[in-house]
């Protein structure tokens, strides 16, 4: 969001909480929001969307993946794990399912064509077609959300941390499907925060037999890491040797760089580098992905409609030629 949009959205949510916003500083309003009852906060269904710079977030660069790939870890840090789930975009899937927008593949394609130099390449990586039904399109789009916003964020952090000779860095992918998912096929998607629940939640009696081995291996590896600072059998992550440990239903798999190179997340990152260099992931995240998610809200839907109108006009000219 732009600073103006961010401020407007925050004040809108504060007003919905019954907080007086006229003639008050943002800090005073923010303190009252923090003190609001948690149930009232939940009822807002407010998904945070920070901008690059505003009175609420004064630093222009810290909340970016570019910053992460340039930031070294603290000098006292011996080792760390950077982890994401293979369908963290489920959180966006959940929000989008509650909206009334249709023709999702067409909307996403129009945004890509308006804001990318090689839009068709991204659509091809994820096999997004305007013929896709909305449920199918949303599943694919939220995989883009996952790979750029979560996998990409982890890789950005690893790139920054790799500059330190002291810190040993490990990369983990959690790929055990959530057996309790409601909106997505059960057991097929490693959804947002399910990795944390599976690690700490006392729900073993509810786990299907086919994913127990993977969950137990996941716990054993993380607990052993907490004791030793080493993640077996994973090599430390380096830019030239991107070693990754993947936890699946049947156990653990150690992927070498050559095995990762042709996966969708890595292909998306390669595409992003060609689109915008070190700013690439932020460009995709802010200008394409977050814009798509934001304009699912009726308050901002007109912005997507403007882009779609130009997209349709452009296609008409091409077809007419």
81's CB contacts (< 8 A; 6+ apart) are 169, 170, 171, 172, 222, 225, 231
The 10s digit of each residue's pLDDT in 140-181 is 999 999 999 999 999 999 999 998 888 999 999 999 999 988
Q: How far is CA 284 from the centre of its chain?
A: 11
In this predicted model, which residue has the larger pLDDT, 15 or 45? Answer: 15
Residue 72 DSSP one-character state? P
Q: Considering the chain, what percentage of its residues have pLDDT values greater than 90?
A: 55
The pTM of the full predicted model, rounded to 2 decimals, is 0.84
pLDDT at residue 241, rounded to an integer: 85
* Helix H or strand E segment including 26: helix 26-34
Q: What is the DSSP string of 218-255?
A: HHHHHHHHHHHS--TTPPPPBTTB--EEEEETTEEEEE
What are the backbone angles phi and psi of residue 171, rounded to the nearest 5°? Answer: -115, 130
| Mean pLDDT across the chain | 88
50 confidence band (pLDDT: 50, 70, 90): very low
When pLDDT is averaged across residues 223-238 and rounded to a whole number, the result is: 89
C-beta contacts of 223-227 below 8 A and 24+ residues apart: 225/79, 225/81, 225/170
pLDDT at residue 240, rounded to an integer: 85
pLDDT at residue 176, rounded to an integer: 96
Instruction: Say how far apart CA 187 and CA 193 lie, in whole Å.
Output: 14
């Amino acid at each position: 969001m732009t600073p103006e949009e961010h401020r407007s959205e925050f004040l809108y949510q504060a007003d919905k909480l019954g907080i007086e916003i006229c003639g008050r500083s943002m800090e005073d309003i923010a303190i009252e929001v923090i003190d609001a009852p948690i149930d009232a906060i939940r009822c807002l269904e407010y998904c945070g969307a920070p901008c690059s710079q505003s009175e609420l977030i004064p630093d222009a660069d810290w909340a970016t993946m570019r910053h992460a790939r340039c930031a070294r870890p603290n000098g006292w840090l011996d080792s760390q794990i950077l982890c994401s789930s293979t369908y963290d975009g489920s959180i966006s899937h959940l929000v989008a399912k509650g909206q009334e927008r249709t023709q999702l593949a067409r909307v996403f394609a129009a945004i890509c064509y308006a804001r990318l130099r090689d839009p068709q390449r991204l659509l091809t990586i994820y096999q997004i077609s305007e013929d896709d039904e909305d449920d199918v399109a949303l599943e694919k789009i939220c995989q883009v959300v996952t790979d750029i916003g979560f996998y990409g964020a982890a890789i950005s952090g690893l790139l920054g941390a790799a500059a330190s000779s002291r810190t040993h860095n490990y990369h983990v992918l959690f790929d055990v499907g959530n057996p309790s998912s409601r909106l997505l096929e059960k057991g097929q998607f490693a959804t947002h925060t399910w990795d944390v629940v599976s690690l700490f939640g006392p729900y073993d009696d509810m786990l299907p037999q086919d994913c127990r081995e993977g969950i137990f291996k996941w716990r054993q590896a993380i607990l052993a890491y907490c004791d030793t600072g080493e993640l077996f059998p994973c090599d430390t992550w380096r830019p030239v040797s991107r070693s990754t440990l993947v936890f699946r239903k049947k156990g653990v798999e150690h992927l070498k760089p050559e095995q990762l190179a042709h996966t969708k997340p890595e292909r998306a990152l390669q595409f992003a580098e060609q689109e915008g260099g070190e700013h690439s992931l932020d460009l995709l995240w802010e200008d394409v992905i977050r814009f798509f998610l934001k304009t699912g809200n009726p308050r901002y839907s007109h912005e997507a409609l403007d882009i779609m109108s130009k997209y349709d006009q452009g296609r008409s000219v091409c077809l007419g030629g």
